[in-house]
Amino acid sequence: MTLIIIVILLIIAGIVWYLTKPRPRCPECNSRNVKMFSQEPLSSRYFEYPSGGPGGGGGAMQLVYKAKFRCRDCQKVWEKEITETN
């Protein structure tokens, strides 16, 4: 019984995550029916951040790339610079 409840909660969490993740919108028709068809890396950098706790801080890699999108409804093509931190 407990296993079934855990599985149901995991499924609900996955659905909530999928529905709330950021998705691009077409600047022309505001549709979410958009496909990214190209990514070009622009830059990357490693940075460290301090922490107040024992053991010091940590670090992360930041990637910047230019992405091209196409709207499947109105066929508008546009570029956007995207920054990801891992």
| Interacting residues of 59 by C-beta distance below 8 A, sequence separation 6+ | 46, 47, 48, 49
Give pLDDT tens digits for 27-63. 999 998 999 989 898 888 887 777 656 666 677 888 9
Rounded Cα distance, 48 and 52, in Å? 13
Rounded Cα distance, 56 and 36, in Å? 38
What are the residue ranges spanned by the domains of the chain? 25-50+57-86
Partners of residue 79 on adjacent β-strands: 68
Q: What is the pTM (predicted TM-score) of this model? A: 0.61
Per-residue pLDDT at 6: 93
